[in-house]
Protein backbone atom coordinates (compact mmCIF):
# COMPACT_ATOMS: atom_id res chain seq x y z
CA UNK A 1 0.00 0.00 0.00
CA UNK A 2 1.29 3.45 -0.92
CA UNK A 3 2.11 5.86 1.89
CA UNK A 4 -0.03 8.55 0.27
CA UNK A 5 -3.00 7.94 -2.01
CA UNK A 6 -4.56 10.58 -4.22
CA UNK A 7 -7.17 10.56 -6.93
CA UNK A 8 -5.10 11.42 -10.02
CA UNK A 9 -8.04 13.13 -11.73
CA UNK A 10 -8.03 14.90 -14.07
CA UNK A 11 -10.35 17.54 -12.71
CA UNK A 12 -11.59 19.93 -15.40
CA UNK A 13 -13.46 22.93 -14.03
CA UNK A 14 -14.56 26.33 -15.35
CA UNK A 15 -13.05 29.55 -14.06
CA UNK A 16 -14.71 30.62 -10.85
CA UNK A 17 -15.58 27.10 -9.76
CA UNK A 18 -14.80 25.61 -6.38
CA UNK A 19 -12.87 22.35 -6.47
CA UNK A 20 -11.73 20.01 -3.71
CA UNK A 21 -8.96 17.41 -3.68
CA UNK A 22 -8.56 14.66 -1.16
CA UNK A 23 -5.76 12.45 -0.08
CA UNK A 24 -5.31 9.67 2.45
CA UNK A 25 -2.17 8.52 4.20
CA UNK A 26 -1.39 5.11 5.64
CA UNK A 27 0.86 5.87 8.63
CA UNK A 28 -1.20 7.06 11.58
CA UNK A 29 1.97 8.39 13.23
CA UNK A 30 2.67 10.82 10.40
CA UNK A 31 3.66 14.21 11.69
CA UNK A 32 3.61 16.91 9.05
CA UNK A 33 1.44 17.49 6.03
CA UNK A 34 1.75 19.70 2.99
CA UNK A 35 0.33 20.49 -0.39
CA UNK A 36 2.81 21.11 -3.16
CA UNK A 37 1.97 22.31 -6.64
CA UNK A 38 3.73 21.11 -9.79
CA UNK A 39 3.23 22.79 -13.14
CA UNK A 40 3.74 20.76 -16.30
CA UNK A 41 7.43 19.88 -16.74
CA UNK A 42 8.40 22.04 -13.77
CA UNK A 43 9.57 21.39 -10.25
CA UNK A 44 7.21 20.98 -7.29
CA UNK A 45 6.71 24.09 -5.18
CA UNK A 46 5.26 24.36 -1.71
CA UNK A 47 1.68 25.59 -1.80
CA UNK A 48 0.86 25.39 1.88
CA UNK A 49 1.38 23.42 5.05
CA UNK A 50 -1.62 21.68 6.58
CA UNK A 51 -2.30 22.14 10.27
CA UNK A 52 -4.57 20.13 12.54
CA UNK A 53 -6.88 23.08 13.05
CA UNK A 54 -7.16 23.67 9.31
CA UNK A 55 -5.72 26.70 7.62
CA UNK A 56 -6.51 29.12 4.85
CA UNK A 57 -4.35 31.07 2.45
CA UNK A 58 -6.40 33.32 0.23
CA UNK A 59 -8.55 31.12 -1.99
CA UNK A 60 -6.95 27.93 -0.69
CA UNK A 61 -8.11 26.03 2.39
CA UNK A 62 -6.42 22.93 3.74
CA UNK A 63 -7.92 20.53 6.25
CA UNK A 64 -6.50 17.59 8.17
CA UNK A 65 -8.51 14.79 9.74
CA UNK A 66 -6.12 12.68 11.79
CA UNK A 67 -8.78 10.21 12.87
CA UNK A 68 -9.57 9.36 9.25
CA UNK A 69 -5.98 9.97 8.03
CA UNK A 70 -7.35 12.29 5.42
CA UNK A 71 -6.15 15.62 4.02
CA UNK A 72 -8.07 17.96 1.77
CA UNK A 73 -7.44 21.04 -0.31
CA UNK A 74 -10.23 23.37 -1.35
CA UNK A 75 -9.73 25.96 -4.07
CA UNK A 76 -12.37 28.65 -4.36
CA UNK A 77 -12.94 30.95 -7.34
CA UNK A 78 -10.60 28.94 -9.58
CA UNK A 79 -8.29 30.86 -11.89
CA UNK A 80 -6.73 29.72 -15.15
CA UNK A 81 -3.37 29.95 -13.40
CA UNK A 82 -4.46 27.30 -10.89
CA UNK A 83 -4.09 24.64 -13.61
CA UNK A 84 -1.39 22.31 -12.30
CA UNK A 85 -0.86 19.02 -10.50
CA UNK A 86 -1.42 19.18 -6.75
CA UNK A 87 0.75 16.86 -4.68
CA UNK A 88 -0.24 15.69 -1.22
CA UNK A 89 2.86 15.27 0.95
CA UNK A 90 3.29 13.56 4.31
CA UNK A 91 6.25 13.09 6.60
CA UNK A 92 6.68 9.86 8.52
CA UNK A 93 6.62 9.46 12.26
CA UNK A 94 8.73 11.51 14.63
CA UNK A 95 11.44 8.89 14.85
CA UNK A 96 12.33 9.14 11.18
CA UNK A 97 14.85 11.41 9.58
CA UNK A 98 13.86 14.97 8.85
CA UNK A 99 13.23 15.71 5.23
CA UNK A 100 11.95 12.28 4.25
CA UNK A 101 8.75 13.29 2.50
CA UNK A 102 6.25 10.91 0.97
CA UNK A 103 4.57 12.33 -2.09
CA UNK A 104 1.24 11.29 -3.57
CA UNK A 105 1.17 10.89 -7.33
CA UNK A 106 -0.74 14.15 -7.61
CA UNK A 107 -4.15 15.32 -8.75
CA UNK A 108 -4.25 17.09 -12.08
CA UNK A 109 -6.41 20.21 -12.32
CA UNK A 110 -7.30 22.06 -15.50
CA UNK A 111 -9.26 25.30 -15.24
CA UNK A 112 -10.90 26.38 -18.48
CA UNK A 113 -12.16 29.84 -19.44
Partner 1 sequence: DTAVSQTPKYLVTQMGNDKSIKCEQNLGHDTMYWYKQDSKKFLKIMFSYNNKELIINETVPNRFSPKSPDKAHLNLHINSLELGDSAVYFCASSQKNDRGFSGANVLTFGAGSRLTVL
User: 71 or 106: whose CB is closer to partner 1?
Assistant: 106
Contact yes or no for 88/104 (Cβ under 8 A): yes
Binds partner 1 (CB under 8 A): choice among 44, 61, 73, 75: 44
Site for partner 1 contains 52 (CB under 8 A): no
Taking phi over 0 as left and psi of -120 to 50 as alpha, with beta for the rest, 41 belongs to: left
Q: Where are the alpha helices (DSSP H) in 44-107?
A: none
Site for partner 1 contains 58 (CB under 8 A): no
Q: Distance (Å, rounded) from C-alpha 103 to C-alpha 59? A: 23
Q: How far is the CB of 20 from partner 1 (least distance, A)?
A: 20
Q: How far is the CB of 102 from partner 1 (least distance, A)?
A: 8
> Which positions from 2 through 41 interact with partner 1, judged by CB under 8 A?
31-32, 34, 41
> How many chain residues touch partner 1 (CB under 8 A)?
22
Q: Distance (Å, rounded) from C-alpha 32 to C-alpha 29? A: 10
| Residues whose CB falls within 8 Å of the CB of residue 97, separated by 6 or more in sequence, listed in order | none
Contact residues for partner 1, defined by CB under 8 A: 31-32, 34, 41-46, 49, 85, 87, 91, 94, 97-101, 103, 105-106
Amino acid sequence: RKEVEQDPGPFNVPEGATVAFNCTYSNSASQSFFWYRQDCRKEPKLLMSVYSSGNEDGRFTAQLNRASQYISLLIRDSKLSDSATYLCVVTPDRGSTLGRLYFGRGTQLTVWP
